[in-house]
């Protein structure tokens, strides 16, 4: 017996929690649009259930120009399944704090990740993360301050700024829900 609604696996790779918050917001919107979700952290053993899940949302941050290596592991293990279902990649990056850097076609780290993995998700979105100096250890704080200095961003170590455009996140989730429901009904 087929369930009455599609279900997707929403996976988040987050170091300081912003990707988790974004994944949860996407999950909430998908559920409100009639798509069930299972939400989980991206780890070395993260595994969707192809019998249960009708799609995948991967929300992962970029740290110092690199994606979580577990993202590539997930893609390598489940490539055939991923190529057969709707998929959404959400890159969370501080470089996306300016609207021009939110375009997946020009976001260098997203382009490099997709080229390296050979994955072609159904939809790709680049979302700004959060700058949380107060949560960073000394190394991260100083490295990010240097990056911000080079890119014209805030360098005051007492600064916390959430750059995430929640309207963008909700719109992305609504659009993906349409794709999942259309494919599921077919």
pLDDT in the model for residue 1: 47
- Residue 156, token pair as written in the block: 């005051």
- Regarding whether 123 and 90 lie in a shared domain, the answer is yes
Residues 152 and 82 in one domain: no
Please check whether residues 86 and 159 belong to one and the same domain: no
* pLDDT value, residue 186: 62
Q: Cα–Cα distances in Å, from 140 out to 71, 131, 137, 143, 147?
A: 22, 11, 5, 5, 10
Structure tokens, 154: 């805030």
- 146 shares its domain with 84: no
Please give the DSSP secondary-structure letter assigned to residue 176.
Answer: H
Residue 2 lies in a domain: no
Q: List the domain range (segments joined by +) for residue 109.
A: 7-129+164-185
* 1 lies in some domain: no
Same domain, 87 and 156: no
Q: Domain total for the chain? A: 2
Q: Are residues 76 and 152 in the same domain?
A: no
DSSP track, 50-105: TTT-S-EEEEEEEETTEE-HHHHHHHHHHHHHHTTS-EEEEEEEGGGGSGGGG-TT
Output phi, psi for 68, to 5 deg.
-60, 130
pTM of structure: 0.93
Mark whether 53 and 108 lie in a shared domain.
yes
pLDDT by residue, tens only, the chain of 186 residues: 456 889 999 999 988 889 999 999 999 999 999 999 999 999 999 999 999 999 999 999 998 888 999 999 999 999 999 999 999 999 999 888 888 889 999 899 999 999 999 999 999 999 999 999 999 999 989 998 998 898 888 999 998 999 999 999 999 999 999 999 998 876
Other beta carbons within 10 angstroms of residue 38's beta carbon come to 14
């Amino acid at each position: 017996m087929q369930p009455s609604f599609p279900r997707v696996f929403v996976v988040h790779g987050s170091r300081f929690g912003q990707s988790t918050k974004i994944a949860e917001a996407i999950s909430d919107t998908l559920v409100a649009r009639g798509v069930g979700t299972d939400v989980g952290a991206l780890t070395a053993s993260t595994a969707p259930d192809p019998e249960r899940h009708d799609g995948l949302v991967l929300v992962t941050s970029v740290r110092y120009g690199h994606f979580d290596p577990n993202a590539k592991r997930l893609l390598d293990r489940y490539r055939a399944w991923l190529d057969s279902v709707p998929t959404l990649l959400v890159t969370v990056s501080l470089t996306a704090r300016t609207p021009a850097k939110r375009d997946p076609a020009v976001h260098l780290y997203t382009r490099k990740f997709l080229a390296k993995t050979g994955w072609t998700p159904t939809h790709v979105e680049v979302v700004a993360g959060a700058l949380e100096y107060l949560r960073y250890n000394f190394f991260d704080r100083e490295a990010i301050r240097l990056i911000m200095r080079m890119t014209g961003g805030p360098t005051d170590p007492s600064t916390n700024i959430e750059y995430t455009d929640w309207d963008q996140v909700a719109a992305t989730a609504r659009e993906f829900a349409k794709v999942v429901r259309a494919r599921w009904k077919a």
